[in-house]
Amino acid sequence: MILITGGLGFLGSHMAAMLLSQGHEVILVDNLSHSRMEVLERLEYMAGRYVTFFRLDIRNTPALQKIFDQYAVSGVIHCAGMKSTLDSVMQPLDYYNDNVGGTMSLLRVMQRSGVKTLVYSSSLAVYGSQTDDSALTEKSLINPETPYANSTVMCEEILHDLFTAEPDWRIAILRHGNIAGAHPSGIIGEWPTGVPGNLMPSLAQVAKDERGALEIPVREEGKVDSSGIRDYVHVMDVAEAHMYVLGWLFNQPQALEVFNIARGEGVTVPEVVKSFEAATSKEIANETVAEREGEAATIVADIRHIQELLKWTPSRTLDDMATDMWRFYQSL
């Protein structure tokens, strides 16, 4: 059985849907701080069967240990954690407590239970802003610029230290780009609680007249093209990459590998807006605002490592992300 932390969250739910569709048994763990119980109902509807779920904060080590004692867990996909760049600047202690504390608790339970296969969902944010025009490789300088990114780097360092001490572990760190889109069925997708911190849900809210104009941060007032450049990747591509990596790990005697998961293409906010306008056939009202603290200028990944080693390449476009996201949001 595969245990997924943050299993009802955006990435975790799509990972669960993909595993379930291929006949795998999963255990979902989520404290529902950034997700909804309705996601579980939708996953069970899609799978046509009961899905094992525990409402649990993974920092509750004894409760998490009981799950490992009760079920034959063979591997873990760790998606749980707080991920808002802006919120982390305002609430750094919460981010270190949740992200680092949660990872430590999970690893301790895995260690005690003899479960040593782990896929850790990291982020391209660990690199910070690029200093030149070259895409970021897995060996690029690590330069976290926010508490969120720094907490993620800390988790990666813990995994490296653990592997050095116990080299029989099989660990993969997946640094993904900006995840967007939704399941093509429209049944699950990015379901924000409160004000969304990601771009596509914000665009959907503007398109449905649930909020005013979209704010586009720029470095110089009036120069829209100077908005942050990001590497967007479809959530189904990210889930698929996790599948490739998990299957690869199970065939290794030991491993610690880092992979960039993205499209390898830089996209500005205005380009995302244009794609979303095409998907919705609506004009998205927007206005420029000053750049927010902690926002990197440009983050674009080099994905040749996973392409060459695992033969994985993203197949979905920015237009696919916008179309799938809008289909899901309309179903809410």
Q: List residues with catalytic annotation.
A: 148
Task: Report how far residue 236's alpha carbon sits from residue 256's, in angstroms, rounded to the nearest whole number.
Answer: 24
Q: Hey, how many other C-beta atoms are within 10 angstroms of the C-beta on 169? A: 21
DSSP code string of 17-78: HHHHHTT--EEEEE-SSS--THHHHHHHHHHTS--EEEE--TT-HHHHHHHHHHS---EEEE
Report helix, strand or coil for 186. Answer: coil
The angle, 0 to 180 degrees and rounded to 10, between the axes of the packed helices 318-331 and 199-207 is 50
H or E element in which residue 216 lies: strand 214-218
Cα dihedral across residues 321, 195, 149, 7: positive or negative? negative
Q: Which of 207, 214, 194 is nearest to 287 (CA)?
A: 214
Whether 61 contacts 69, CB under 8 Å: no
Joined together, the tokens standing for residue 35 give 């997700």
How distant is the alpha carbon of residue 188 from its chain centre? 15
